[in-house]
Each structure stands twice: as C-alpha cells, then as structure tokens.
Chains A and B, each alone.
Chain A
Amino acid sequence: MKKLQKSNLQSVSGSALPYIVVVAAFFIVTLLQKSGNLEQHMQGMLVPVCCYIVMALSLNLTVGIMGELSIGHAGFMSLGAFSGVVASQSLIDAVPNTALRLALSIACGACVAAVGGFLIGLPVLRLRGDYLAIVTLAFGEIIRDIITCLIVGHDKNGLHILFNFRGTKTVADLELVEGGLPIIKGAQGAIGTTKISSFGAGVILILIALFIILNFIKSRTGRAVIAIRDNRIAAESVGVEVMKNKMIAFVISTTLAGAAGALYGLNYTSLAADKFDFNKSILVLVFVVLGGLGNMLGSIISATVLTLLPEVLRGFDQYRMLIYAIVLILVMLATNSPKMKALLQKLLQDVKTLLFKAVPKRKSEGEV
C-alpha cells in the first residue's frame, strides 16, 4: 500500500515538474528584467526562446510520443506565422486591445496549421513506414515557395490576396483603397507588422502546450497513440484504430506549431518565408532528440539552452563552436541519463518534504 502511494506521488510530481520549471524560470527572468540585469540582446531572445520551446514540445509529440518522423515542422510554424500576421494586421482597427488581438491571431495561426496537419496526415498516416518524413520535408519546402509568391493586403473591403506565380505583380495590383495596409509582399515576406508578442504571452503559450500534451498523453487517446508506437500489431489486435488516433496526435502537434509560429511572426516587424527553411526544421528536431524522445522537460531545457547559447558565446569568438558542441553533448547526457533524472526527482522530493514540513507548522500556528 505504501509502495503504491509513493509511486503515485512520484508520478504526480513527475508531471508537475515541467510546469514548476517554466513558472520558476518566468519569475527569475522577470526579476532580472525589473532589476535591469538582463542585457538588451537577451531581452530580444525571450520570445523566440518561448516559440522554440513550444515548437520542440509540439515536435516531441509527433516524434517522441507518436514515433513518426516529421522533418518539415518549420512548415507548420510558417503557416501559423503568416496567417497569424495576416489576422493581426487585419484586426488592428477592429480589435485595438493588443493582448486580445494576439490571442486571436495565435488561435488563427493554430487553426490554419491544424488544417495543414490534417491535410498532410490524411494520405500519409494510413501508410506504414517513414513516409511522413518525406512528405513533411516536401511540405516545408512547398509552403515556403507558396508564401514567397503571396501578396496580401487588407483594407476596409476586407482581405486582398494575390498569387504572384510569374513574379510580375506588386502590392499595387492589390488595388487597396485609401487607408489599406499591405501585409505580405511576396519574397520580402511580411512587412510593417505591428509587434505585439510578449514574453508573458510566450510563457502562457508554453504552459498551454504543456497542459495539452501532458494531459493528452495521460488520456485514452494518448494511451492508444503510445500503444501504436510500441506495437502496432498488438494495438490493432485489441481494436485500436491506427489512422484516427495518429491523426488526432498529429493535428494537435501541428496546431501547437502554428501557435508558436504566430507568436514568432508577431515578434518581428518584417519576416521572410525563408526564415522557416529545412535548417529550422532540423534545429527543432535536434532540440527534441537531445532533450530526449518523449521527455517534455528535456525538450524545454534543450530548446532554451541551444537557442541562447550562440548569443551567450558571442564573447568567446573562435571557441564558440567548440563550446557549443560540448554543451550539446552535456545536454544530451543530462536529459537522457537515468542518473540525472533520478537526481532531479530527488531534488524535487527534497523541496516537497521541505514544503510539507513548513505547511503544518503554519497551520498549527494559525490554530493557536
């Protein structure tokens, strides 16, 4: 009985740990900001780090939990980024409140990426083998090309969209009326975007992504997805539908990637489609693999460390890449070794016992 309770406690603390780490990091960073101890270029990294964390969490759902390789995840991020920017710029007058507009734009980016994920998953997820890797790779490249051909503007008559396949059209061809706003200018990408992303929004998005993914894993559908990953034939033999359950997981994954993209897109005044290339997809995949497949806290840590590292190492000049490589290896060792995991667990347990000891004391004081 005691054994059971202990393991229950451990599993609860195990799933609470990522939330605790994110909230703690948020407070520490906010404190540093308020006390003026955060350098300017580090401040600029806060939102991108949040975006990459959500991207890593999202991809970990596909690669770690579902066991399918996606190497075009930046494509879904791109979908989210540009549809988020279009939504936000179109709503500037209608929704002046930036927090609300940001939320709506992120929701819009997420929805578009969800549709993208569904359309990609529909033909691919019913096949056995690594077809998803090939198709997502192509998808990432195609999305980049399409957005490069896109000219979008908004005026009081609504959205104007042009496909500039021949490269002959310009914003003027949109024929925007007085007061209209060009939003996407072909190869230049999004221009003149009003920056509305914030670190706070990024942290909230991370917490939402964690909430969705961790709860999903511990639900009926999540169990089905893990069962399919572990042993497809056995899963089918007990009546678990492969296509349907994988599709749900994949669409959740691409939805979160779209949300991350929207937050990212609204953090820059200009943004070209080239930002979301093959290298970006691989970068996110590296975060996931180094952080450990299926290990959400690992993804958070590796995405943070590896995004900030090049900035931190600027001072080291020629040793930069060497240190980067060493840290890569250390992160991998730290997040994938059972010993390190046990150590983390123990630390958390200690914190808990400290808290538990503190709580009754206060209570008894109150009673007296």
Chain B
Amino acid sequence: MKVFEKGKMVPVPSTSIIPERDLGKPPVLECVHLGIEFGGLKAVDDFNLTVGKTEIAGLIGPNGAGKTTVFNLLTKVYTPTHGTIMLDGHDTTGKSTVQISKMGIARTFQNIRLFNNMTVEENVRVGLHNRIKYSTAEGIFRLPRFWTHEKEFHERAMELLSIFDMQDMANIKAGNLPYGAQRRLEIVRALATNPKLLLLDEPAAGMNPNETAELMENIVKIRDSFKIAVLLIEHDMKLVMGICEGICVLNFGRIIAKGTAEEIQNNPEVIKAYLGNNSMEE
C-alpha cells in the first residue's frame, strides 16, 4: 500500500505485528503517518500502527509520550494535522467523535469520565443509546415501544454488567462507586456501543494486584466473547507483557519500537527510554 503525502509517494513502514490468526483478515485499524501539532509541538509524529481484527495490542511509553493523544486522535477528540486513520477499511477523515463511535471505536478515559449523577445501569443504558431506539414522543407518552425497548435496555445493561459481576451495583450512583468499579463500569459502557475496537486508557490504574489480575483475565475474556480488537495503554508491565500480542512503544510522540513482549523487553532503545523512569517493572 502506498500513501500520497506532501507531494511524493511514501512507503508505509511495515512494522505491524498482527497475530497469525488475523493475517488473512483486513486489519481493524490502520494509522498511517498519523500526527498532531499543538502550536508547533509535535505531540504525536509519524505514528504508524496496524491492529488485527481480534488482537490485543499495547501502547506503552513514559508519561507525556503522547499515548492518550493517540486515543484522542483515533476518536476525533482532536483532529489530526497529518496522516490518515482507516477503521475496518473505511477512511475516518472528517468524521466526528459521535460518527467514530457509530463506526465502531469505543474507549475509556485515563481520568475517569462517568455520568456521575446517573446510576450504574443508566450509564450502561447511555452506552446502548444507538443500539436500542425509540422516539422522544414515544418516551414522553409512554407508548408501547417505550415499554418494550426500556425492557430491552434493562436486560442488555444487566447482561453487560454481568461481565464484571456488577449486576447488584446497578442502582448505585456511578459517582459513589469505588475506584476500581468505576474503571470497570467505563469498560462496560464502552462495550455497550458494540465496538469493533476497544481503546483502554490505563485500565488498571489505581487497582490493587488482585483487581489487576482479574482485569487481565476479563480483557482476554471480552476479546474472546465479543471477537473484537483491544488497544490498551498501561503502565503495569505485568499486564501488558501478560496479555498483549503486539506492543508499540512511544517516546516523545514517536514510535521507538514495535514487537512482541519479548522483543520489547530486550530492545535497547526501550530500556534507554525507560531508564531512570522506574515505571517498567518485570
């Protein structure tokens, strides 16, 4: 594949590491020369990444490397100043955050963004907004479709909450949940949108080792049962090395390494980037 940029043909670096089982299928995500500048500062520069259809991929790097910015580019919170993003073969140029959600990317946030004044179940119901529909008038006048569809909202929400055994928290206000449960609820809400690609921004942050171990299992379980791809940002190296099939290392907005867990751990560039940072524990 060739991409036309700045007046010349530039070959796309073929450093993607797609798991073998996904090789026959088109990738779910392709970032080509993706970049953004904030007033001259290149927060993300020449970011090339391909994620397979059912891959669990990791995006790591020191604080301020630009990882969250990549997620914001993928979901169009920021508009890229360079490059293209292809989602499941479709160009996402010019799309809005809402359209991206409809196209199949769902995400969680590093700084948790729940609907704090709503209950746990209502948060998931908002996630189901585009999957179960009835009109405002049907809602106000409580017409038959309101009742059947609200029942469906309830059943689907409960089903999704059962992924993390959270059914009995359904009526608690999201803002009153413990930290770990809030992170899990964000994942459930994201899954409610029926994504093809799930972006997790530091899902284990603030969790204790037990919770993290459980989360690892659940991420794999989610990938297997929903048959979706997961791209996750995480500082917990046990989690990243444990479940990520392909890992991409970002430093100062640029990719410095790509590969399997083993390759990354032995990469001198990566070790140098993390040196003195202490955040890369075995």
Contact = CB atoms under 8 A, between A and B. Distances in A.
Interface of A: 4, 7, 211-212, 215-216, 218-224, 226-227, 230-231, 233-242, 248
B107 interface: yes
A230 B125 contact: no
B98 A233 contact: no
Given A227-B126, A234-B113, 19 more contacts: A212-B140, A215-B141, A216-B139, A219-B136, A219-B146, A220-B134, A220-B149, A221-B136, A226-B117, A227-B118, A233-B109, A235-B126, A236-B97, A237-B97, A237-B113, A237-B190, A238-B126, A238-B127, A239-B129
B94 to A, nearest CB: 16
Contacts of B142: 215
Q: Is the interface of A mostly helix, strand, loop or mixed?
A: helix
Given A7-B171, A219-B139, A231 B129 contact: no
Nearest to A222: B139
A242 B98 CA distance: 9
Interface centre among A221, A222, A226 (most CB of B within 10 A): A221
B75 interface: yes
Nearest to B124: A238
B136 A216 contact: yes
B118 A230 contact: yes
Contact of A238 (B96, B101, B116, B140): B101
Nearest to A212: B140
Contacts of A230: 114-118
A205 B230 CA distance: 52
Nearest to B193: A238
6 contacts: A215-B139, A220-B139, A223-B122, A223-B126, A231-B113, A231-B115
Nearest to B142: A215
A238 B77 contact: no
Given A219-B139, A224-B126, A224-B129, A236 B116 contact: no
Nearest to B175: A230
Interface string B118-158: 10001001110110111010011110001001000100000
B109 A234 contact: yes
Given A227-B118, A233-B77, A233-B113, A240 B126 contact: yes
A215 B117 contact: no
A223 B125 contact: yes
Given A220-B133, A227-B118, A236 B101 contact: yes
A202 to B, nearest CB: 21
A216 B141 CA distance: 9
B102 interface: yes
Contacts of B141: 215
Contacts of B117: 226, 230
B129 A240 contact: yes
Contacts of A223: 118, 122, 125-126, 129
B75 A237 contact: yes
Given A7-B171, A237-B75, A226 B118 contact: yes
A7 to B, nearest CB: 5
Contacts of B75: 237
